[in-house]
Structure 1
Amino acid sequence: MSRTSTSRGWGGDVAATTLVLVRHGVTKHTAAKAFSGGLGGDNPPLTQEGREQALLTAKWLEPLAPSVSTVVTSPVLRAFETGEIVAGALGAQLVEEPGFAEIEFGEWEGLTFGEVAQRHPEEMKEWMGATEVAPPGGESFDSAQVRVLDGLERVLEAHTGETVVVTSHVSPIKLLVAHALGTPIGGVFNMELSPASATVVSFFSDGRASMRLFNGLPPARDHFAATTF
């Protein structure tokens, strides 16, 4: 089976590069609803529950195996471990893309949302009101968007016309969705992604993009078995 797909768009046949964006499974911070950033943070591994979530999602994605040769992963441990599990299930190679790492949360790392709101209410209010504002010692959504889109361009260039699974984090996945939909990135505060969920976005060579699925979860395996991305 060919790994290159085309879609008849408004301008004729165009190459479609489809990203299956998988959020990592849970860690100790996920379970506590705490801020957990990229390589500059605590960098916790998946818990046993997180590994089980990743394995269930990997099995859900198995019907895609004939069309997926590569799983691209954030280098952050929890996403990398999720990527290893998914790549193993699909028989795909695993490669790192640093652009898809989670936002750095600086001084908020390891604190819960409620703790930050209580201890730093003004900083939290400013952060939620402007995407150019970063947590103290951390990274803003605006700056993160630049590296996430740089990573996207590298993936699209290397895998034009292919289906690629990407294991990443809440913030990069939301930024990719906002980019695909052409919406302001402030919309990231209005999206919710479950651990080990799958979001599917196609990028076309004529510049269009299409979101095919958002926050999908097992056990709806028939969706993937019956759908051609």
Structure 2
Amino acid sequence: MTDTSSPHDRGGPDRGTGWNVVTAPPVTTLLLRHGDTPLSPQKRFSGVSEVGLSADGVAQARAAARRLAERGGISAVLSSPLRRARQTAEIVADGLGGCPVAVDDDLRETDFGAWEGLTFEEVRAAWPDEAAAWSSDPAVAPPGGESFADTLTRLQRVRARVVDRLPAGTVLLVSHVGAIKTLVVMALQAPLASMHRMFLDSACLSEIDWFRDGTAVVRAFNDTAHLRDAACDCASRGREIGNARR
């Protein structure tokens, strides 16, 4: 029988950068941001706050589930412990035929401390100096919260667990803006502050190949093609620079 699958489907040579010689298939991480919550349209900090999906968020998660079921090949689903991510992961897992969802605490969103539940405008009004420092230095944490540098340390542990311990294949990670951007920064070996120049829609997909030799390839970022026909308003709400706070 003729093999009609593409090299991409088989984990073939095109999984590299186009320059390097691939000697072993990678671990591929599909990175899914959770769907909308009631706070998303209001652009409020919702780091470790326990807020669930809105009706739009559920519809977005179902659209992502259909997209991922059509793609196939997912061997494991890992989720942040936060409710909005777990709900999204469970909807997708059901669409994959009941794939079990494992919770990884290090996939949680950045803790925004005293800023949880506030808009950035409210934060700047109450903490002007702290907000300016936070915006310019990833090592600065909100009052009582966590810096993006701290988030990076957590996501380095996730990468080690997924890439170094799992067999080659495709793993779905359901997480948040801060965590997903951090993984992209790691893959690109970019400065951590570059995450402020990235935008992620609700329920978007990104994709990274991680090779055993340490090479990483970002194959997709903020892919929302599956949301175009979803029965909800899946347009991004408030496209402002640096939505890591959402």
Q: TM-score, normalised by structure 2?
A: 0.83
Q: Which has the higher mean CA deviation after the structures are superposed, 165-174 or 8-17?
A: 8-17
Is 1:55 aligned to residue 65 of structure 2? no
Match of 2:88 in 1: 82
Q: 1:23 aligns with which of 33, 37, 54?
A: 33
> Counterpart of 1:109 in structure 2: which amino acid?
E
Is 1:197 aligned to residue 204 of structure 2? yes
Deviation, structure 1 residue 158: 3.6
Distance 2:226 2:149 in 1: 35
Q: 1:107 aligns with which of 105, 114, 133?
A: 114
Match of 1:225 in 2: none
| Aligned CA-pair RMSD | 1.8
Percentage of matched positions with identical amino acids: 37
Deviation, structure 1 residue 167: 0.4
Deviation, structure 1 residue 6: 4.1
Tell me, yes or no, if the aligned pair for 1:51 and 1:82 is still in contact at 8 Å: yes
Give secondary structure in 1 for the equivalent of 2:161: helix
Runs of 4+, deviation exceeding 6 Å: none
Q: How does 1:121-160 map to 2 (within 5 A)?
A: 121-160=128-167
Tell me, yes or no, if the aligned pair for 2:164 and 2:212 is still in contact at 8 Å: no
Tell me, yes or no, if the aligned pair for 2:114 and 2:142 is still in contact at 8 Å: yes
Distance 2:126 2:193 in 1: 23
Deviation, structure 1 residue 209: 0.5
CA-to-aligned-CA distance 1:121-180 (integer Å, 9 cap, x gap): 111100011010000000000011001110121112342311011100000000000000
Distance 1:128 1:145 in 2: 16
CA-to-aligned-CA distance 1:186-222 (integer Å, 9 cap, x gap): 011110100000001110112110011100013389x
How many residue pairs get matched?
Answer: 215
Is 1:35 aligned to residue 52 of structure 2? no
Which structure shows the bigger proportion of residues in strand conformation? 1
Match of 2:23 in 1: 13
Q: TM-score, normalised by structure 1?
A: 0.89
